[in-house]
Structure 1
Amino acid sequence: MSGFWGVARAIIGREFLRFVHQRERFLAALVRPMVWLVIFAAGFRAALGLSIIPPYQNYITYETYIVPGLCAMVLLFNGMQSSLSLVYDREMGSMRLLLTSSFPRWWLLFCRLLGSTAISILQVYTFLALAALFGIVLPLPGYVAVLPGLFLGGLMLGALGLVLSSFVKQLENFAGVMNFVIFPMFFLSSALYPLWKMAESSPLLRDICAFNPFTHVVELIRFLLYLQINWGALIWVLGSTVVLCTIAVWGYDPARGLMKRKS
């Protein structure tokens, strides 16, 4: 067991060292949600009326509504950014060397996920602190209650990034794939508008949004911030995490990669 924990400390510590040395990554993770909160929300506030829907007990401002979605946005972008570094490590050979060690592949990838998720959670809480400075104050116990939701959401979105990085072989191609995944997931979700609002314009789009796993990450965070549990969202996130982690472990099988090259 000491060997397993030693590997975990090394991998997670490497993730934090890389994060510390990439300050622009931290700033970029905060600029994106703050632009939506401060600038775009001002324009959408008048166009999108909101009714009283769970977990809210009264009418809220549009800025308050989009905060959970922006928290999920931070998780999504950081998960993809971490996977981009995986592609780089694979091109440099360090990832392949790690995966051929004597430790189980699933443990190595899980430690990598833990490191990226911990960094994502740090960024989310920094964003929530900045949002509070702009008057978006949430229930105080919600800041603690949301932690498990952030952890599960970070694992799921990080696992999605692992899956993509296992199939994209070149660093130059991964950026395009990231954009192809990130923007549809974000805009076809309840991050910016409730599903009932989407159903008014297109029931089909509403169904697509309801099937989007990112929507359930947003709703899990939203309910936990108000000390409630959305059981449907929780089941979706847990199930998606298990499926994506299984595919990632299969995708990072060195033997499969060797066979592919030999053929």
Structure 2
Amino acid sequence: MPETHSPVRALRLGVAGPVGTGKSSLIATLCRALSEDLRLGVITNDIYTDEDARFLRSEGVLEPERIRAVETGACPHTAIRDDVTANLLAAEDLERDFAPLDVVIIESGGDNLTATFSPALVDAQLFVLDVAGGGDVARKGGPGIARADLLVVNKTDLAPYVGVDVPQMVADAESAREGRAVLALSRTDASAISTLRQWVLDILAAHRSGTHTPVDPGPMAPHSHSDEEGGWFVHTHDEDTHTHTHADASH
């Protein structure tokens, strides 16, 4: 009999996307869809709060102890890409406390279109947009949109109220992703939820068989942040060293 690959840890699934795209609600939907068949844990990331973790606990989607929060204290992408230590420790603690787990879902703090997970942290990642952010967002591209394992166009039930053509937004996303998977989703759409559930099960099966390879969507593009004195700094990432620097852009 051929030897089979049996990973010693759970699949780690990253969920990233801008603020307000519905990442926490999507994770709640995923937990409801999967919790009867899989052993799950969740880690949330916020800068100064555990609000997303408290929301998920209040939804009753998992035992409260299986939902843990990381407070990054810095740019949201820092703890999912630059220095993933806090999230790695949180994932290892969850897997030790509730062994064996099948999937640990890690939610990024809300960031911009360039934020992606390091493959040192997650085995697969999905990137979340929503129709309320505008139908043109999908074609603007960026590493998360272009190369995450799955792109979710969320809150499709709101499309009539914000004037977005969902099929066109999905077509733009498919073009930006060069054929990689895109899913239009609403938490009221049972068929789309079923598709998302099957996607996770397929990724999990590939992870267990050793046929899934984590892919780095690419380094973040330079972007700006304000400082406490009201100035602005350009935040850049070094592709080779994975460090980041700040250059004064206040003038």
> What TM-score comes out, normalization by structure 2 length?
0.27
Higher Cα radius of gyration:
1
Higher RCO, Cα 8 Å, sep 6+: 1
> What TM-score comes out, normalization by structure 1 length?
0.26
Which structure: greater helix fraction?
1
Which structure: greater strand fraction?
2
